[in-house]
Amino acid sequence: MGDYQDAYSASMKDPDAFWLTAADAVTWSRRPQRGLDADRAPFYRWFPDGELNTCYNALDRHVDAGHGDRPALLYDSPVTGVTARYTYAELRDQVARFAGALRGLGVGRGDRVVIYMPMVPEAVIAMLACARLGAVHSVVFGGFAPKELAARIDDAAPKVLVCASCGIEPSRVVEYKPIVDEAIAATPQAPEKVVVLQRDRARARMGERDVDWDELMAAAEPVSCVDVAATDPLYILYTSGTTGKPKGVVRDNGGHAVALTWSMANVYDIGPGDVWWTASDVGWVVGHSYIVYGPLLAGATTVLYEGKPVGTPDAGAFWRVISQYGVKALFTAPTAVRAIKKVDPEGDETTKHDLSAFRTLFLAGERLDPETYRWASAKLGVPVVDHWWQTETGWAIAANLRGLEPMPIKPGSPTVPVPGYDVRILDQLGQEVPPGAEGAICIRLPLPPGTLPTLWGDDERYLSSYLSHFPGYYLTGDGGHVDSDGYLFVMGRTDDVINVAGHRLSTGSMEAVLAAHPAVAECAVIGVHDSLKGQVPRGFVVLKAGVDMAQETLQAELVAAVRRDIGPVAAFKEVAIVDGLPKTRSGKILRKSMRAIADGHDEPVPSTIEDPGVLDALRPHLRRE
């Protein structure tokens, strides 16, 4: 662990020096003299005296350096049959023009813009245009329903919303504009204007506040980059918490640019001119960091793929893209690999494509099970590198740093803490546990650059969600252990957040939907193991006295309600009607015990249980006997 150990120790001993050196890789309009600002600890900030523009660093800088002809973005859309190639100069020009269009709609520094779009180049253009103006974008994943979109609009209070008329799923066209209209009607924070990108598969009906993307672009003048403080927000990205209300994770400009630039070289071994592909969605943090900002900051070529691992058209889609564009490294979620493996268990499709340029498969977003790791390693013949991070951190907490010092891979472990992250495993009393012992995975403050400085408009919730549990530490919400070689093993969430196909979801918000049904007296939703999606939600409801309704009808209504209120992404398909839910004497539902039984590893029942008979009666439902 030579280079790694040196870098890690340097980042711990003198974080200011470490990150100010890393900051040299970024172009500043005012170079920072200070690294960490701890004046308002635990609200730490990075590079408080620095000024820059993130869009300048992602685009203009490369054009100014003479690389305007280098491909910046390769769009590949098997669902529409369209491909497109943007050089750095072309992408810069499109972004500058759309920034001019937004400015014409009154968007300026600090204003919020909500983006609700599928995987089209215009989504990337809109994000970078906001960054160019110093405006704050908030991208919402297309699989969320109107209510979820409305909750995000409510919180971000955007001046403008940018959407497409539709997204294209393999089995159906999803009309986005009616979802946007419904969401806007449900919030007092309606944006002044909605910019609509019309797609031929389902053109949107336009209303008074709507503006057509093409018409706007045709009339707009390009604008240059606006310098912002390093500590100014670049974006807000909402993520599920334990309650129904999503948390608005804030990302700053300076720390983000420094951390992502550092990560592209050191974690992913990607530099200028390399072709890099993150198969995810711009609506998730992986899409923000590693479809859009990271690769462009690094001067690499990023692939934007509007398709699925299977079915668009077959299980060879990923290998076709790798071969067609000479992709050096792919970053995706384990669930995508499991989907391919299910359809093509022998990996025959891998042999039909030239993968000679392909060097590494990076996986994150959910636990990488050893079986999936072994399959991908065997079929692809390249290192399969797990790494672990969160929406909140924006980049890797633990990784096998391929550009710094590749290390032996241990299946089931994302390897070691990344420089900047002081990872500790704590017991319930906040004491550090010895190697091998399970505990709460925490990070000693301060967090490194690029991580969340707070939650949008809610410092209190930032403290209560992450910092107050163990003072001086950031609580990740995951449990796990470190082995005697210093490798981290992440075993899963310790709260009621679940991970379905790499999508982080709150069981609390699903419970709120079930509880709102007039027939339901009480309910619980738990995440249970699923061989394809990693986890899926399962609901259990107790009916109000006197309810007389056919079980199937009620179940169908409850499933439909979750899809209507949260969205298809919740993948909520199963709900059981039961006589009672197991509780402690103080009334807390024993979800952990329910989860354990459903997953087939019974744990001792807590002594605080009110009535063990209730849990016994539930066992057949949990085990689906």
Smallest distance from the beta carbon of 414 to ligand 1VU, in angstroms? 10
Q: DSSP string spanning 24-74? A: GGS--SB--S--EE-TTTTS-EE-TT-EE-HHIIIIIHHIIIIITTSEEEE
Residue 120 within binding range of ligand 1VU, rule CB under 6 A: no
Q: Which of 284, 305, 373, 489 binds ligand 1VU (CB under 6 A)?
A: 284
Question: Can you tell me whether residue 104 is helix, strand or coil?
Answer: helix
Residue 580 within binding range of ligand 1VU, rule CB under 6 A: no
- Cβ(72)–Cβ(89) below 8 Å: no
Query: CA 138, CA 150: separation in Å to the nearest integer?
Result: 12
- Cβ(334)–Cβ(368) below 8 Å: yes
Q: Which of 164, 569, 578, 597 binds ligand 1VU (CB under 6 A)?
A: 569
Smallest distance from the beta carbon of 397 to ligand 1VU, in angstroms? 9
Beta bridge partner(s), residue 163: 116, 196
Q: Which of 61, 152, 177, 503 binds ligand 1VU (CB under 6 A)?
A: 503
Smallest distance from the beta carbon of 161 to ligand 1VU, in angstroms? 16
Query: CA 88, CA 61: separation in Å to the nearest integer?
Result: 10
Q: Which of 339, 368, 526, 575 binds ligand 1VU (CB under 6 A)?
A: 339
Smallest distance from the beta carbon of 568 to ligand 1VU, in angstroms? 3
Residue 286 within binding range of ligand 1VU, rule CB under 6 A: yes
32 vs 246, beta carbon nearer ligand 1VU: 246
- Among the residue ranges 98-106, 241-249, 282-290, 373-381, the one whose residues contact ligand 1VU (CB under 6 A): 282-290
- Among the residue ranges 243-251, 263-271, 332-340, 520-528, the one whose residues contact ligand 1VU (CB under 6 A): 332-340
Residue 101 within binding range of ligand 1VU, rule CB under 6 A: no
Residue 308 within binding range of ligand 1VU, rule CB under 6 A: yes
Q: Is the dihedral of CA 89, 90, 92, 96 positive or negative?
A: positive
Residue 294 within binding range of ligand 1VU, rule CB under 6 A: no
- Among the residue ranges 129-137, 177-185, 259-267, 501-509, the one whose residues contact ligand 1VU (CB under 6 A): 501-509
Smallest distance from the beta carbon of 332 to ligand 1VU, in angstroms? 7
C-alpha atoms less than 13 angstroms from C-alpha of 66 in its C-beta half-sphere: 0
Q: Which of 333, 384, 442, 615 binds ligand 1VU (CB under 6 A)?
A: 333
Show the site string, 517-546: x = touches ligand 1VU by CB under 6 A, - = not: ----------------x-------------
Looking at residues 419 to 438 of the shown chain, list those that interact with ligand 1VU (rule: CB under 6 A). Answer: none
Q: How many residues bind ligand 1VU (CB under 6 A)?
A: 29
Residue 441 within binding range of ligand 1VU, rule CB under 6 A: no
Looking at residues 142 to 161 of the shown chain, list those that interact with ligand 1VU (rule: CB under 6 A). Answer: 142-143
Helices (H), 186-220: 213-219
Smallest distance from the beta carbon of 75 to ligand 1VU, in angstroms? 16
Query: CA 551, CA 568: separation in Å to the nearest integer?
Result: 22
Beta bridge partner(s), residue 278: 331
- Cβ(90)–Cβ(107) below 8 Å: no
Q: Which whole-number Å values give the CA distances from 608 to 508, 524, 584, 617, 622, in the listed order?
A: 22, 18, 5, 18, 21
Q: Which of 149, 160, 204, 285 binds ligand 1VU (CB under 6 A)?
A: 285
Structure tokens at 170: 């393999």
Question: Torsion over CA of 432, 436, 438 and 443, rounded to 10 degrees?
Answer: 50
Looking at residues 222 to 281 of the shown chain, list those that interact with ligand 1VU (rule: CB under 6 A). Answer: 280-281
Smallest distance from the beta carbon of 402 to ligand 1VU, in angstroms? 17
Write a three-state SS string for 451-485: CCCCECCCHHHHHHHHHCCCCCEEEEEEEEEECCC
Query: CA 72, CA 546: separation in Å to the nearest integer?
Result: 63
167 vs 299, beta carbon nearer ligand 1VU: 167
Residue 448 within binding range of ligand 1VU, rule CB under 6 A: no
Q: Which of 571, 577, 590, 597 binds ligand 1VU (CB under 6 A)?
A: 571
Strands (E), 216-312: 228-229, 233-239, 247-252, 275-278, 301-305
Query: CA 473, CA 103: separation in Å to the nearest integer?
Result: 41
309 vs 446, beta carbon nearer ligand 1VU: 309
Q: Which of 134, 309, 419, 420 binds ligand 1VU (CB under 6 A)?
A: 309
Pairing assessment for the beta strands 160-164 and 112-116 based on DSSP bridges: parallel
251 vs 308, beta carbon nearer ligand 1VU: 308
CA neighbor of 57 nearest in space, from 265, 283, 256: 256
Q: DSSP string spanning 131-165? A: HHHT-EEEE--TTS-HHHHHHHHHHH--SEEEEES
Q: DSSP string spanning 373-419? A: HHHHHHHH-S-EEE-B--TTTSS-SEE--TTT------TT--BEEPT
Query: CA 379, CA 368: separation in Å to the nearest integer?
Result: 16
Residue 305 within binding range of ligand 1VU, rule CB under 6 A: no
Q: Which of 321, 482, 501, 514 binds ligand 1VU (CB under 6 A)?
A: 501
Smallest distance from the beta carbon of 88 to ligand 1VU, in angstroms? 25
Pairing assessment for the beta strands 439-444 and 82-87 based on DSSP bridges: unpaired
142 vs 477, beta carbon nearer ligand 1VU: 142
Residue 337 within binding range of ligand 1VU, rule CB under 6 A: no
CA neighbor of 573 nearest in space, from 542, 535, 544: 535
284 vs 373, beta carbon nearer ligand 1VU: 284
284 vs 466, beta carbon nearer ligand 1VU: 284
Residue 283 gets which letter from DSSP?
A: T
Smallest distance from the beta carbon of 401 to ligand 1VU, in angstroms? 16
What is the binding site for ligand 1VU (CB under 6 A)?
118, 142-143, 167, 169, 174, 280-281, 284-286, 308-309, 333, 335-336, 339, 364-365, 389-391, 501-503, 533, 568-569, 571
